[in-house]
Amino acid sequence: MSDVPLPSAAASADLPDVAPHAPALARQIRRLAALPEAPWLHGEVGRRLADKLVPIRIEPAHWVDWSAFLGAGAEAVAARYPEARRWIMEPHAALFERSLAAWQAGQSSPWWRRWRQASSPVSQADAPRPDGWPADGVQMVWANMTLHASADVPALLAHWHSLLDVGGFLMCSGLGPDTATELRGVYRALGWPLPTVDFIDMHDLGDELVQAGFQDPVMDMERLTLTWPDATAMLAELRTWGGNVAVGRHAGLRTPRWRERLLQALEAHCRRPDGRLGLTVELVYGHALKPLPRPKLAAETRVSLDDMKRMVRHGHDRT
């Protein structure tokens, strides 16, 4: 398959749920975009999310890899759908640059050219659809470890819904509310503002999916306990996951004395019987379908031309 032209990055702006409404979140995303590679945790969650594709019978011809650099799920999805066309979409300019650079580097690699997914274009999430985009949308949106990185989850779900063809499905994941309970306990004990936002609950996510127009949401969660030899190693890895964007967080920079106090508190409160420091991570997974549009009946009912075409076309598909 020949390469597909890339849309211009200069013509795109950051998604509204990232920059204007959450400048702290935008700063953290820019920092994460500078990492040498995606966080280990994101790759592990991506493999677990990909395992949930096994029983799904839908075979996507096209799929969106949302926040591809940090999501780190391309290989796992390609193993399940080797013939599917991958479209890379990034919600932030800095992440766009990372994925674009990786995509362009891959075009010069002989082994990458043999991988059909290499011909996928890279775009920012709010850019016009690039050449070759399927007229009715893609059959899967893959969004690994992204739910907790949005200041407006309903808007994000609505955007994912708009990318899908009727009968397509969403696979998403993120951090749940029990994540870092030990760390939050340390901050409470020290009288400090909490170090995390309120992560979305599995049941709330299911409700939000329905509100966004999805059908038959399937929710799942699991808890992991990660361990480190000491507090310094713990904080170093936590920094690769993101940073504190909670309202009421400490303003400005912290001092070396503050950091030393935090390290001592972590050593005292998070030490496990095996001698290592432990931290709980709750993972939330979501899967849902995009159904046929169902206009609300009234004395006068208006249906968009695009929705009418979809209803007629998919009605014929079932006959």
pLDDT at 309: 58
* Cβ contact 93:123 at 8 Å: no
In the chain, what is the greatest distance between 2 CA atoms, to the nearest angstrom?
Answer: 71
CB atoms within 10 A of CB 159: 20
Q: What three-state secondary structure class fits 263?
A: helix
Number of Cα atoms under 13 Å in the Cβ half of residue 262: 19
Task: Identify the band that residue 119 occupies on the pLDDT scale cut at 50, 70 and 90.
Answer: low
pLDDT tens readout for residues 22-71: 677 888 888 999 999 999 999 999 999 999 999 999 999 999 999 999 99
Tell me the pLDDT tens digit for each residue of 167-202: 999 999 999 999 999 999 999 999 998 888 888 999
Distance of alpha carbon 27 from alpha carbon 18, whole angstroms: 9
Domains within the chain, CATH numbers bracketed? 14-176+199-223+283-317 (3.40.50.150)
Dist. CA 14–CA 123, nearest whole Å: 11
Give me the phi and psi of 160, to 5 degrees please: -60, -40
Give ∠ CA 236-29-137 in degrees, rounded to 5.
Answer: 130
What pLDDT sits at residue 157? 97
Listed in order, strand segments (DSSP E) in 83-134 are 85-90, 122-124
Grade residue 2 by pLDDT with cuts at 50, 70 and 90.
very low
Q: How far apart are CA 280 and CA 266, in angstroms?
A: 13
Nearest to 150 by CA among 65, 234, 229, 245: 245
Q: Mean pLDDT score of the chain, rounded to an integer?
A: 83
Give CA–CA dist 238/223, Å, rounded: 17
Which strand (E) or helix (H) includes residue 143? strand 138-143
| C-alpha to C-alpha distance for 4 and 174, rounded to whole angstroms | 31
Question: Per-residue pLDDT for 319 more than 50?
Answer: no
| Dist CA 215 CA 88 (whole Å) | 24
CA angle 143, 93, 234 (to 5 degrees): 65
Q: What is the DSSP letter of 173?
A: E
Query: Cα–Cα distances in Å, from 157 out to 144, 207, 213, 215?
Result: 13, 11, 9, 12
CA–CA distance, 158 with 160 (Å, rounded to integer): 5
Which one-letter DSSP state was computed for residue 36?
S
Contact yes or no for 284/175 (Cβ under 8 A): yes
pLDDT given for residue 80 in this prediction:
96
